[in-house]
Structure 1
Amino acid sequence: MTKDQLVKVTRYVSLLGGGVLTGGALTTFVLELALRRLGAPAYIQVRQAEHAYFPWFIGVIFVPTFAAVVLLVLLARGAGSPALRPAAAALVLLVLSLVVTFTVNAPINLDQFTWDAQAPPADWAGIRDRWQIAHAVRTVFCVLALGCLGAAVIDRPFERPSAH
């Protein structure tokens, strides 16, 4: 694979993966707004059902996307490309989304697997609210990262034009 082909593939994987991650985050955000209407038993059942499948799907998308964005940053840095700044900003935003995921959302997800829908914890609504706020923050990071990836990829030459 030539360097130009590697850059092209890296750009496409970064942008496509970033779009899928952002779409998933936005869809989950809207779903969570709808779930606020449910009482504890139904809310818990939905959360347990969706998280039996959703985390592995996001992992399958996130890992190659993150790797592609890291590679995009490294390639842009090596080429002195104007794509470096938006690609690096996207990488920072993806790291921030991971921090939110692993410090707030994932621990709550794991805890919710142990909840009994017929005997929910007394503070279930507060925990739900904390998860939803953290997810909203994570969604903003994903949307901004996608915007940065778009700026790094769309209509931007990768190599810095040579001075004549």
Structure 2
Amino acid sequence: MSESMTVRLVRGSSVLFAGLFSGFVLGVLVLEHSLRAYNASVYTQVRLVELDSLDNLASATLIPALVCTVIVAFLSIKARGNDRWLVLAAFVLLVVVFVTSLAINVPINGDQADWSVQTPPADWADIRDRWQLAHVVRTVCAVLAFTLLTVAALTRRGQRGAASEPDKKPLTIKA
């Protein structure tokens, strides 16, 4: 039996939003790594630019990824699908991303929003390092979650394809 169009849409949305979020945090990771070569004023100026709108992008991609993934996880567990453990693991990883963000990154973002480019705090590098370490954790978890959701979707698609093909007997040609 094939999945309903709604279930496929939610599954596709889960993969899409997890992929968008993963790409976003991966891009920020590269930028943040590049910033390590610069002084406090440059770092602060770039962070203030990042904080202008990037938190909105994070919310607009992570929250739908979480919602869609929990729905897919519930449906996969209920249907006892072979992909249920992959989807459940992806959901747990996205929860780790969310908790890490709320516990570490978002509070630091709030503090950094008040920093002055001319006079960053004396401990700016320690704060940067704490933020970047938490960001590495959430980036790795987000990329792994996206990978697991993609594998789960492909596994599910393979199951649907195999279930929809009737048993075929080998073709024999009589001469």
- Tell me the TM-score normalized by structure 2: 0.86
What letter is aligned with 1:131?
Answer: W
The superposition leaves residues 107-132 of structure 1 with CA deviations (integer Å, 9 ceiling, x where unpaired) of: 11000011111111111001101111
1:98 alignment counterpart: 98
Which shows bigger deviation, 149-158 or 37-46? 149-158
The answer to whether the Cα contact below 8 Å between 2:21 and 2:58 also exists between their aligned partners in 1 is yes
Work out whether 1:144 is the aligned partner of 2:170. no
- Give structure 2 stretches of 5+ with no counterpart: 164-175
CA RMSD of superposed structures (Å): 1.5
What letter is aligned with 1:147?
Answer: T
Output aligned runs, 1:75-90, within 5 Å: 75-90=75-90
- Give structure 1 stretches of 5+ with no counterpart: none
Following TM superposition, the consecutive aligned residue runs of length 4 or more in structure 1 with deviations greater than 3 angstroms are none
User: Which whole-Å CA distance do the structure 2 matches of 1:101 and 1:43 have between them?
Assistant: 20
Percent of residue pairs identical: 39
- Tell me the TM-score normalized by structure 1: 0.91
Deviation at 1:100, TM superposition (A): 0.8
User: Which whole-Å CA distance do the structure 1 matches of 2:9 and 2:149 have between them?
Assistant: 14
Aligned residues: 158
Larger radius of gyration: 2
1:56 alignment counterpart: 56
The answer to whether the Cα contact below 8 Å between 2:83 and 2:155 also exists between their aligned partners in 1 is no
The superposition leaves residues 121-154 of structure 1 with CA deviations (integer Å, 9 ceiling, x where unpaired) of: 1110011011111100111101110111012111
Secondary structure at 2:82's aligned position in 1? coil
Which shows bigger deviation, 136-145 or 2-11? 2-11
1:23 alignment counterpart: 23
What letter is aligned with 2:134?
Answer: A
2:167 alignment counterpart: none
2:172 alignment counterpart: none
